[in-house]
Amino acid sequence: MKPARTGIRIGVGIQLVAAGILWVVANYLGFVHFLRIDHSRSGKFSLAGQTRSVLKECKKPLHITVVASPTFASHATRLLGDVRGLLTEYLFNKRKGLVVEYVDPTRNTARAQDLQLRFPGRPLDQVLIVEYDGRHRILELAELGDFDRTAVASGGEPVLIAFRGEQVITSAIVSLLKPDPEKIYFLQGHGEPSLMSTYSTWVESLLAQNTAVRGLSLASADAMPEDARAVVIASARSDLDEREMGILRKWLEAGGKMLVLLDPNSPTPRLLDLLRENGIQARDDRVLRLVKLPFAMGILRDVTGEVLPGADITRRLQGTNLVFPGATQSLALDMETAARRETRLRPLVQAAEEFWGETAYLPNQPGGVAYEDGLDNGQPLVIAATADRGALSDDRVDVQDSRLVVVGSSRFAENDALTKPGLDFLTGAVTALIDREGLTGITPKNPARFTLRLTDSQLSVLSLVSLGLIPGMAALAGLAVWIRRRA
């Protein structure tokens, strides 16, 4: 009998050891290899691609300290829960090198005083401190939210309408990674729209990438500014003169980076010649399609563009659609000119399949419009393209002497027409021009609050289920167990 019992004990011991090993392996795999899925409507618990790229760029320790107390009578206190959830996502995406600390000055006065000595000059009350590589940024907690203050005039409390913590915190980290802001110049003096009124949303996004945006007039200049990292020509309504074109052409040949948003309704032959010299030809057409209306056929001039894969500018936007409202012209890529100038041409955005380039695009055509093979421009229709001179042929390496990005439309960049994908494209294009591909990506989201509205009947059903059905099912289950045990 003893040998049998000994064998049983050995078998049980082996089973316990095996179960322990399986438990350790399962927990290790679950800790290292896991999948987190965000099912929220606004994607509140998902970090943007740019944020993940920025965290990967942080090779040195990154420290984030939240100095705030939930007992403070401030509207910014309501952001603490969202801030904690957001920083938890940061920790999930960067497990090494990121430290997040929460300091309640009413409970941990010693730590609060220590921080005040380290960062003198301002009271550390309801703030968030970001530290990296000996540099720091102090953010007001109220900056992380957009509040509607309409009710304050009548004695009410400000209403939180959107939480923008990811935009602000990621922007602060970028400014610490790249402490010297890059200068982006927007060409002025040719009827271009105002930066701060027409393109203010785009400009604010560029400023959040730690860049400095300036207007540029070449009317009295002999050369480009020495600190210019990129130049943007957005919707020039009149052409540049020969002297200005000479300055831009010389700068581009010397390794300059340029983004051009064309206004198809404004003739700019000298500017188009510069593009043609680099292998990108703006066609004299308008991209459109026909749509069936209840009693006739209509012309749709708001173009849907499909982002193409392969280029660093649009790598993280692959599969996204962009909308180009108003007039849009297609681009032709001259491969012979590109080969002669050792330039690599790449299409970035292509019009959807139903669109074509109409050459007889004047309004009020007597017979309407229809695609004519050999006269109009058919698919594929390129709307945005890039020309990289001195680029390597290996797609895995992105090195170029000069870069030119051209888009056959400019209306989509204006505030009243700018969409989230359009802003991502524009910001990514400029970021790539200044050689920050590692920080190029979808800009952080701005999830807005929404209200769940239920009718009286829906509230009645919800009350019946929560107060009657669910407790009743629990009671029936308990009764069934009691009856079975009695039997």
Q: Which whole number is the average pLDDT over 43-49?
A: 73
Q: What's residue 129's pLDDT?
A: 93
From 260-264, 373-377, 409-413, the region with the lowest mean pLDDT: 373-377
Q: How far, in Å, CA of 450 to CA of 42, rounded?
A: 9
Q: How far, in Å, CA of 55 to CA of 91, rounded?
A: 10
Where b means 16+ CB within 10 Å and e means fewer, 247-276 reads: ebbebbeeebbbbbbbbbebebeebbebbe
Q: What's residue 397's pLDDT?
A: 43
Residue 369's pLDDT band (cuts 50, 70, 90):
confident
Q: Does pLDDT of 449 surpass 70?
A: no
Q: What's residue 22's pLDDT?
A: 92
Q: Does pLDDT of 64 surpass 70?
A: yes
- Tens digit of each residue's pLDDT (9 = 90 or more) over 278-331: 999 999 999 988 888 777 777 888 899 998 887 777 777 777 889 999 889 999
Token reading at 261: 């948003």
Q: What's residue 342's pLDDT?
A: 86
C-alpha distances (whole Å) from 5 to each of 9, 11, 19 are 6, 10, 21
Which helix (H) or strand (E) segment holds residue 200: the answer is: helix 200-208
Q: Which residues contact 127 (CB under 8 A, 6 or more apart)?
A: 67, 68, 138, 139, 140, 141
Q: What's residue 317's pLDDT?
A: 77
Q: What's residue 405's pLDDT?
A: 94
- Using DSSP, state whether 139 is helix, strand or coil: strand
- Tens digit of each residue's pLDDT (9 = 90 or more) over 372-386: 888 888 889 999 999
Mean of pLDDT over the chain: 84
**Pairing mode, strands 321-324 and 303-307:** antiparallel
- Using DSSP, state whether 433 is helix, strand or coil: helix
Who has greater pLDDT, 47 or 241? 241
* 182 closest CA partner among 152, 145, 207: 207
User: What is the identity of the amino acid at 175?
Assistant: S
Q: Does pLDDT of 144 surpass 70?
A: yes
Q: Does pLDDT of 437 surpass 60?
A: no
In this structure, the dihedral spanned by the alpha carbons of residues 157, 160, 165 and 166, taken in order and rounded to 10 degrees, is 180
In order of start, what are the domains of the chain with their CATH numbers? Answer: 49-173 (3.40.30.10), 180-362+374-439 (3.40.50.880)
Q: Does pLDDT of 261 surpass 90?
A: yes
- Sign, CA dihedral 312-317-320-324, equals negative
Q: What's residue 350's pLDDT?
A: 92
Specify which of 35-44, 98-107, 162-171 reaches the highest per-range mean pLDDT.
98-107
Q: What percent of the chain has pLDDT over 90?
A: 28
Q: How far, in Å, CA of 130 to CA of 170, rounded?
A: 10
**Pairing mode, strands 382-389 and 62-67:** unpaired
Contact 471, 76 (CB under 8 A): no
Q: Does pLDDT of 370 surpass 90?
A: no
DSSP secondary structure letters along 220-240: S-SS--TTEEEEEEE--SS--
Q: How many residues does the chain have?
A: 487
Contact 462, 288 (CB under 8 A): no
Q: What's residue 466's pLDDT?
A: 87
DSSP secondary structure letters along 50-92: HHHHHHHH--S-EEEEEE--TTS-SGGGGGHHHHHHHHHHHHH
Token reading at 340: 């002669």
- Tens digit of each residue's pLDDT (9 = 90 or more) over 388-406: 887 544 444 444 478 899 9
- Sign, CA dihedral 189-193-199-200, equals positive
